[in-house]
Structure 1
Amino acid sequence: MTVLRGASVALRPTVPEDIPALAAIRGTPEVRERWRGGDDLEADLATDLQDPDTRCLTVDHDRRIIGMIQWYAEEEPDYRHAGIDLFLDPAVHGRGLGTDAVRTLACHLIDVQGHHRLIIDPAADNTAAIRCYTKVGFRPVGIMRRYERGLDGSWHDGLLMDLLADEVVR
């Protein structure tokens, strides 16, 4: 895959050399709350990079790593779609960079990969993420009750959102 360029961000295939910077971002309290993992975040990221079903892209802004966006595809013809997930450095939250990254990848998945439908599943209480995804055109589908376990061990709801190809806000 080539580098995907948004209005402010560049999305490029994640390489092993990106792992320390990405692990540092995933280790921030704001990100760790949403993107759990084991005690060794670098090992978790290395495992993600080895997963043949997940494509990891490093998000760069002003020649600096600010996060990672990843996607996977369901290739069964009768259910074909792609899913997206994202984390960004809290230092850049609120600047529209997440929206730019999601929009850039969504357009690539629709225009180049030929997907007609995309999904994303933020925590139901993650209003900033939901607002970001809504700006790209994602719509709420429904609440997935007790969808994921939180850091405190309790279960939390997720929000399933989807985007059809003709609904993307470009």
Structure 2
Amino acid sequence: MKPLQGTKVELRPVATPDDIEILQRVVREPEVAAWWSPPEDFGGMLAVVHEGEVIGAVQYDEETDPEFRHASIDIFLSARHHGKGLGSDTVRTLARWLIHERGHHRLTIDPAAANEAAIRCYAGVGFRPVGVMRAYALDHTTGTWQDGLLMDLLADELT
């Protein structure tokens, strides 16, 4: 996959041991760890690069059954880059690629229902709440089940 260029970020495959080392540090930041458990493997993720620096990662998954074809997105960024529009640019860049290059008509994203900053970010790109998924994800820090918010975006709603 060739890199995807956003307005502020570039998305490229996680490819080097340095990428992995940086991402392992990022997912341990308290502001990130509150919402993300450290993945076992960063393979298949795209590094989010801003001004030459890896600042996080984004991943997608594709449902290929023609009757249910859609894609989903998941993202984390270093806390020092929160609130700068980089998350929105990342999600928008990947969404455009999934819609225009991969042919998806619908995308989903599923932040924790309590993650208000993420929800605002995704809504700014055009994602709309579909509903709350009760006891959706196990919180790795507390061992309790947390609600998730299912959001979706149709191709013609992308901002």
Under a length normalisation based on structure 2, what TM-score does the superposition of the two structures give?
0.96
- Distance in 1 between residues matched to 2:150 and 2:58, nearest whole Å: 17
From the two aligned structures, give the one with the greater helix fraction. Answer: 1
Taking only the aligned residue pairs, the percentage that are identical comes to 52
- Distance in 2 between residues matched to 1:125 and 1:15, nearest whole Å: 32
Contact 2:14-2:42 at 8 Å conserved across structures: no
User: Aligned residue for 1:164?
Assistant: 154
1:101 to 86, 90, 99: 90
3-state SS in 1 of match to 2:2 = coil
5+ unaligned residues in a row in structure 2: which ranges? Answer: none
1:41-66, Cα deviation, whole Å (9 max, x unpaired):
6xx1xx341xxxxx410000010010
3-state SS in 2 of match to 1:19 = helix
3-state SS in 1 of match to 2:34 = helix
3-state SS in 2 of match to 1:79 = coil
The answer on 1:13 being equivalent to 2:3 is no
What amino acid does structure 1 have at the position aligned with 2:147?
D
3-state SS in 1 of match to 2:156 = helix
5+ unaligned residues in a row in structure 1: which ranges? Answer: 50-54
- The structural deviation recorded for 1:16 is 3.5
- Distance in 2 between residues matched to 1:95 and 1:66, nearest whole Å: 12
3-state SS in 1 of match to 2:114 = coil
Under a length normalisation based on structure 1, what TM-score does the superposition of the two structures give?
0.90
Q: Which runs of structure 1 show a deviation greater than 6 angstroms over 4 or more consecutive aligned residues? A: none
- Distance in 2 between residues matched to 1:83 and 1:31, nearest whole Å: 19
3-state SS in 2 of match to 1:113 = coil
What amino acid does structure 1 have at the position aligned with 2:33?
R
User: Aligned residue for 1:26?
Assistant: 27
- The structural deviation recorded for 1:115 is 0.3
Distance 1:48 1:19, change over 3 A: closer
Mapping of residues 78-93 of structure 1, within 5 Å: 78-93=67-82
1:48-87, Cα deviation, whole Å (9 max, x unpaired):
41xxxxx410000010010000001000110000000000
3-state SS in 2 of match to 1:78 = coil
| Number of aligned positions between the proteins | 157
- The structural deviation recorded for 1:95 is 0.2
- Distance in 2 between residues matched to 1:158 and 1:16, nearest whole Å: 32
When the two chains are superposed, the root-mean-square deviation of aligned CA atoms in Å is 1.0
